[in-house]
Amino acid sequence: MDGFVRAQALCPGGSRVSVVQVGARALIGMIHLPPLPGSVAYQGQQFDDIVEAAVRDARALCEAGFQGGFIQNTHDVPFTATAPPETIAFLSAVGWEIRREVGLTLGVNVLKNDAESALAVAAAIGAAFVRLKVYVGAMLGAEGVLEPAAPVALRMRPHERATGCTTARTDGRVGGQVWRSLRADRDWR
């Protein structure tokens, strides 16, 4: 189906979320996870409880007519530029369980701009998209200087093609732009 993003899901009760046409607007909800193992803020919450809450949130999004959902490790504070391996493993397990239980089209966002981890989780769970907040240039945030995600995203593009994942490029509003070149933006596409 050229021109469409894989966004069809069968929700509980038999309702079906339709495919999303490229260029059309879609309603994408957030599934914010509590602090995960590997985070300083993790306080030993049982992993089954984390998974159950995430699946419950995904079902609520699906039943409300959302076309997709982002899983994100929002509460892994203090923020760092990259997530540790155990966080990525747990994020992948949560995403896999959401896909298995709910079937909601998923996207992945890891921290503010951990492109390599987001793309790896997306490949592992069959996510349809990732969010990379600093694609070109650099941004100053609580984590320090965030490097552009474009080189990693382009290097991992064969993995994206294998899984059908699309990279969503956004400009974050949570830090100060250090440098941006319109020419560089065109060159990274």
Check residue 19 and report its DSSP letter.
Answer: P
Give residue-wise pLDDT tens across range 5-24: 444 344 444 444 444 556 67
Task: For each of the domains in the chain, give its residue range(s) and CATH number, in order of start.
Answer: 4-188 (3.20.20)
3-state secondary structure (DSSP) of residue 187: helix
Per residue in 72-129, pLDDT (tens digit) is 998 998 888 889 999 999 999 999 999 999 988 999 999 888 888 999 999 999 998 8
pTM of the predicted model as reported, rounded to 2 decimal places: 0.73
**Helical pair 85-101 and 115-125, crossing angle rounded to 10 deg:** 30
